[in-house]
Structures are given as C-alpha cells and as structure tokens.
Structure 1
Amino acid sequence: MKTRVLFLLIAQCFGYYISVQGQGLKPILTRVNVQADTAKKADIIDNEWVAVGINRPYAVQYDYTHLFNGKPSYRFELKNEDNSLEGYAKGDTKGRIEFSYCYATHDDFASLPVKSFANAQKLKTVYHYGKGAAPQASSKSYTFSIYVPSDLPENVSSIFAQWHGMPNRTLVSTPEGEIKTLSTEEFIDLYDKMIFKKNIAHDKVEKKDKDGNVVKDKNGNIVYTAGKPNGWLVEQGGYPPLAFGFSKGYFYIKANSDSKWLTDKTDRNNADPTKHAIMEEVTSDYKTSTIAYKMPFREFPKDCWVTFLIDIDWTKYGKEANNVVKPGKLDVNMNYTQRGKIERKHIVNNQKILIGRNDDDGYYFKFGIYRVGSSAPVWYNLAGYKEHTK
C-alpha cells in the first residue's frame, strides 16, 4: 500500500513537471483589493506580493522559460480587450495587472479594536496597516529587473513599475470649501450618508423600480444609488510620484510632485516624453512633473534582463502649508548583458528633483502592467525586486 501511494505521488509530481516544462507557464490566479481587504495566506505570492487587477489565467504567470537567478520570473500580459476600468478622461479606459509589495493581513488587525478593520475598509486604508510602505520624506534604495521581448510592438503603452501614494480620505473639503481632517468617526458618519465616486461625494438616493417601489437586496436592505454631487470632496490621490514605462515610442522615467494638502483632481499636470526634455519641469500651482530620463523604445535592450538600481530621497512637504520643505533626489543605474557584453549606464545622476505627495503616509511599490488609453496588447517579464532603507 505504501509503495503504491509513493508511486502515485511520484507520478503526479512527474506529470506536473512535464506539464510545466511543456508549456513553461503556471498561472497565478489570486487577487487582492489592498485598499479594502486583507490578504489571506493563499493570496501571498513568494512571501512578498499580492496580485491586483484583472483576473485572467494569462494575466500573470510563473515563467519557467525565463529564469531570473535560477527561479521562474513573472510574466505579465494584457490583451486588447482587457481594459476593464474607467480612465482619467471621459471615454478613456485603462487596464491593470500588477503585483503590490504593500498589503495587510488579518494578523495586522488582531491587536486593534474590533471596528478598526471595518473602518479601514470604508476609508480604503487597509493596506496602511500592513508591510511595504516607505515613510514620507524617507530615503530608500530599490532594484528590479525587466525582460522585454523583441517582438513587443514599438507603440506599446504601459507603466511597468510605479511607486504610488497612500492617501487618507479623512482629509476632506466641505461644501463651503473648508479643508480639514476628520476623525475616523466623523468620516464614517459621512460614508453612511453619501456615496463616493472617486473623490466626489453624491447624495444617497433610494433606488426604485419602474413602479416606484423601493428596491431591496436579497437580505432585505434598501438599495441606494448616487444622486447629485453635494459639494463634499475627499482625498483620493493622483499620478504616481515615480513611474517607469513605455509610451509613444519611448522608454521613460517620470517623477511627479504634488504639494497641495488636498489634491486637486482637476489639475492633470503631466510631462510627456514626446514633448518635454529630460529634467524639464512641467508645473502648475502645486504640481510638478518631470521626465527624469527617456530613450527611444527601439533602443531599449530587448531579449535580456535589464536591471534598475534606484536611490530615492523622497521630497518633504509642509502639510497644510501646501509647500515643499525639502526637495528630493533621484539616482538610477541601468545594467544589462547583451551579446556577451556587460553594459552599465548611469541614466539619472543623483538629480535634485521634486518627487512625492503631500500626504501623511508614504509610498509603496507595484510592478506589472498599468495601461491607460491604448488597447494594444502588452507582455513582458519582471523579477528581482528588493528594497532597503539607505
């Protein structure tokens, strides 16, 4: 009996090995909404990540055909039809499949008051309680690697790595235009009376059927819809403070800064790699956007691992003063081996730069595919992420 069980186990393992080697890919199927939910043990990938975004078997997979330091890398892909989210402008769409290094687990809330998790869900700050955030105005070092195939189209549009802010929605603007920070209890009171669409609050209106009857869900609770905007605004965030991506025939590194205590979502100040020179600041009253580096996509190394080593001093802001207290710095090295030759390029040389957001909390890293506007297919591999305090 023991011999038969051992034989079956060996056969199963061998069959799995053949399957993996035959196709070289193994789908990663778990997804987590890091703002509104905790990660279960089964959701955590390689003790480091959780996946966010579209859930398709091909969207993110272990790739055994493109190893990195002897381990399978992560292959990300979005097809034409995978832009499932509303974009920034009317009619625009965006698609996402990314790994987030920042997330919380049930254990992060275990010692906190009972209502803490429910409140964090409503505030969309669950991930603030977990691991992976770089504090405001801190200094950090990061590294990661990307493998871009030579058959990836030149018109690819994708952010493949980004550092994102961590806004807190208790910072609000009242209908009278007063900007203030609410207590958690005060915000929950608003949450129960209104419906928020992005940063705009709407009146809560009972949903009615065609006969004028109030609609209820299967549990007997009244269903509400969003009515007119009521003048309340909440902090939601904005462009990522740092992004590595491909757009309009370029590889680019872009730094963004927002010194306004409550972000103005109508201000879309944003540098364009086709229009703006390296280190040219594009400014509005409170925002600065800078192309820290760019190169034509056709010149970006293909069919090899390209490793980025990044040092960041995040900008320090003055909170309610809506100002910059101390600018930041950015240093980036790009290393790769192609046709047997090792290349080391210092592409951003310890540049003084505005980089960050005027939030209480800091920043967290994501890599994968974040596609805005274009529905062209995108695929590449990522691996080798590390971070540490300088």
Structure 2
Amino acid sequence: MKIICSLCLLSLSSTLITAQTSKLIPLTERVNVQADSARTHQVIDGCWVAVGTNKPHTIQHDYAVPFQGKPSYRFELKVEDNTLEGYEKGESKGRAELSYCYATAQDFKGKPDREYRHAQVMKTVYHHGKGICEQGASRDYQFSIYVPSALDSSVSTIFAQWHGMPDRTLVSTPNGEVKKLSVEEFLALSEQMVFKKNIAHDKILKRDKDGQPQKDVKGNLLYKTGEPNGWLVEQGGYPPLAFGFSDGWFYIKANSDRKWLTDKTDRCNANVANTKVMKPVTSKYKASTIAYKMPFADFPKDCWITFRIHIDWTTYGKEAETIVKPGQLDVQMNYLEKGKKVSRTLVDKQEVMIGRNDDDGYYFKFGIYRVGNSTVPVCYNLAGYSEQ
C-alpha cells in the first residue's frame, strides 16, 4: 500500500485566511517521539510531527515556494539555533525536522495504562506508532528539496535521514556482559540510576542540611546524578542513510553497524571530502560508505529536485553480530533545467552495507540537522514525501 504525505484539506482550510496575509505559517508544536505520544493538534498535515527547536522561523508552511500547487515546508536555523550537544566534547548541533514516525493515544487504546508509562521510561513510545520500516525490508522512498542559490556552500547539514530505533532494554553490565532485559528488569534498573545518552550514573537522593530527604511541591523525592557506574544502555548511532551538505559537497552516506549493542566510542564515519565513492571506511563492526557526492557548486539551485530511492536494508544476525544479507541502494535524481526534464542516476543498484543490528527497523525524517559544531545559517524547503 502506498503512503503519501499530502496536505490535508482540513488543515489547509484552517490556515487559508492567515495565508492570505502571510506567505509563511510557523509550525511551533514539538513532540518527543521517543518519550511522548502526539496530541491531535501536534500532527502536521495528517502524517508528520515536528522535533527540535520550536522558534517560529525554524519550521513553517511556505506558500511562496509551493510544491505541486501546495505549500511546502520551509526549514531554517540561524547562527544561535544550536540547542544540542554535539558528537564530540564541546561541540553543538541544531535540529528542526519533521518525523514521519510517531505514536498517538489511539495506538495505546485498549492496552493497560502501564504499557504507555513503561514505554515512556524506556523511550520506545514511537515503536508503537506509524512510519516504521522493519529491518531487512525493501522500500521505495521519494521526496523533493528546493535549495536557494543564497545558501552558503560551507553549511554542514543533513536534510534527509533514515534513523534507527534502538531498544534500551539491551544493556551492558559493569562486567561487560551484554544482555536483553525484560521490561520489568529495565524499569527496576531505571529506579536505581540515571541514563545520560548511553551511560548510566548513580542516582543519589538529595538531602537538606539536616540530612532529611528533599521533596518537590508534589511530595516526590528529589535525586541528583552521581558518577558513571559501569552500566551502558543501547542508544543508537549515526543514521543508516543520510542526504546532506558538508565541506562544500552534496553527499549520500550509508552507515552499517552489526554490533548487537552499539559501541558509541567507535566513531567510524566516512568524511565526505576525503573518502572515495563506494569505498567504505570500516572498523571491526561498522562500515561507512559515501555512496555518492557532488560539489556543492554543481548542485541545482532555485528549483525543485526530486529524489527517488530504493533500499534493500541489510539483514543482521542479532546476537551473532553477522551480516546475513547485504543491502542495496538505488538513487535517482530528477529536476527541470531551462524547462527540460533532467534525470540522473546517482547510485545504480549498488550493493552496500546499510542499517543497524536492532530488533526494530527505521524511520524517515527531513529538515535540518546541523552538525559538526557548525553555526552557518541554513535555509531550504522540502516537500513531496512518499514511501511504499
């Protein structure tokens, strides 16, 4: 069944009056898809929720740059809009994206209340929702981007990415034993410690000067974060597939991780400027491949570029940490140049390692994910997403 994101008539009708006086309509609702379900008013055009900074300029309906007669999505990050810690110490990154994967209250209807509460603690709420492509599956995707000629060639941004769905019940003990906990075991563990990214820290009860436990206004005990205690939880890593701009290049990058519990200290990640196309950079468990690259100056500007992507996701051997079946990637690029249709094959059904060794699969996001400590302003439009 084909799933196509098109603007809902009801959503459009509610903004027509505003659109007559403004060509940009801010979309300021945000959802933490891992830890919370989306409310009805937070769902955008029937198929998206927004993540990242919620300043009015960061994600907007754009009536001035329409796609197939409908408003597109305009994404923008300014110099001061980085709000997240980067991959390296002292680095920052910024995010303003639309996620195709999320859960709503309807996805938990008829289930015990504790199931939603448990999913919040485990950060797996979105595992119960829409937009998931299972590991090892084959899927076709399509989306379009409009890059203005004013965009600085020094930007460092991912504009489309397929992300993994890690399961935090997969843990490593202080002795280095990797095991998958039951829901009850993980909940008990989370009562004893605080997780910062993939690292667990001691959970220490706060006490006043008289040694009495401190409580908040609702009577709940207050805790502080102590030192790392040796436990690790699965958190994920680099996106299995990303389209972006970096170091003066447009690139397509495929990543693979066959390790059962991701090693976050392994920074196997191909550099677009220094890595040859289809020559993977590898470590013991990971592979990072620049599947295609083009100088930023040659990337078409001020027109809609449509990408059509076919992916056969790699199949992994779970605890065995093997490659059961390699993946395949095919990417087509279409646009109009001086009124003539241009069709280019960027990746021609190439075998490639692409995916993660997770129980669950992948989901799509597009927008701006500004990385590498960059604060260079970014602005472009996206639209026309579909998958089947």
Name the amino acid aligned to 1:177: G
Q: Is 1:386 paired with 2:375?
A: no
Q: Is 1:375 paired with 2:375?
A: yes
Per-residue deviation, 1:22: 4.3
Structural mapping, 1:99-118, within 5 Å: 99-118=98-117
Distance in 1 of aligned mates of 2:357 and 2:17: 52
Distance in 1 of aligned mates of 2:223 and 2:17: 52
Distance in 1 of aligned mates of 2:20 and 2:213: 57
How many aligned residue pairs are there? 376
Distance in 1 of aligned mates of 2:16 and 2:108: 39
Q: Any conservation in 2 of the 1:152–1:379 contact (CA below 8 Å)?
A: yes
Aligned to 1:354: 353
Aligned to 2:266: 267
Aligned to 2:35: 36
Per-residue deviation, 1:216: 2.2
**Which deviations, in whole Å up to 9, do the C-alpha atoms of 1:90-137 show, x marking residues without a partner?**
000111010000000101111222210000000000000001000110
Aligned to 1:305: 304
SS in 1 for 2:80: helix
Structure with larger Rg: 1
**Which deviations, in whole Å up to 9, do the C-alpha atoms of 1:343-369 show, x marking residues without a partner?**
100000000000000000000000000
- With 133-142 and 222-231 compared, the bigger mean Cα shift is at 222-231
Structural mapping, 1:207-356, within 5 Å: 207-208=206-207, 214-356=213-355
Seen in structure 2, the aligned counterparts of structure 1 residues 297 and 212 have a Cα distance that, compared at 3 Å, is: farther
SS in 1 for 2:287: strand
Q: Is 1:185 paired with 2:194?
A: no
Q: Any conservation in 2 of the 1:21–1:64 contact (CA below 8 Å)?
A: no
Distance in 2 of aligned mates of 1:203 and 1:351: 46
SS in 1 for 2:113: coil
Q: Any conservation in 2 of the 1:257–1:354 contact (CA below 8 Å)?
A: yes
- With 16-25 and 101-110 compared, the bigger mean Cα shift is at 16-25
Aligned to 1:10: none
Q: Is 1:198 paired with 2:197?
A: yes
RMSD: 1.7
Distance in 2 of aligned mates of 1:184 and 1:216: 27
- With 352-361 and 209-218 compared, the bigger mean Cα shift is at 209-218
Aligned to 1:173: 172
Aligned to 1:7: none
Aligned to 2:5: none
Aligned to 2:4: none
Aligned to 1:136: 135
Distance in 2 of aligned mates of 1:380 and 1:209: 51
Q: Once the two structures are aligned, what percentage of the paired residues are identical? A: 64
Per-residue deviation, 1:211: 7.3
**Which deviations, in whole Å up to 9, do the C-alpha atoms of 1:261-300 show, x marking residues without a partner?**
0000000100011000110110000000000000011110
Per-residue deviation, 1:19: 5.1
**Which deviations, in whole Å up to 9, do the C-alpha atoms of 1:215-271 show, x marking residues without a partner?**
321112221111111111100000000000000100000000000000000001000
Aligned to 1:89: 88
Aligned to 1:120: 119
Per-residue deviation, 1:82: 0.6
Distance in 2 of aligned mates of 1:241 and 1:60: 24
Aligned to 2:154: 155
Name the amino acid aligned to 2:126: Y
Distance in 2 of aligned mates of 1:210 and 1:284: 51
Per-residue deviation, 1:341: 2.0
Per-residue deviation, 1:24: 1.0
**Which deviations, in whole Å up to 9, do the C-alpha atoms of 1:185-229 show, x marking residues without a partner?**
000000111100001111101234577664321112221111111
Structural mapping, 1:44-55, within 5 Å: 44-55=43-54
Seen in structure 2, the aligned counterparts of structure 1 residues 377 and 265 have a Cα distance that, compared at 3 Å, is: same
TM-score, scaled to structure 2: 0.94
SS in 2 for 1:42: helix
Q: Is 1:145 paired with 2:162?
A: no
Q: Any conservation in 2 of the 1:243–1:255 contact (CA below 8 Å)?
A: yes
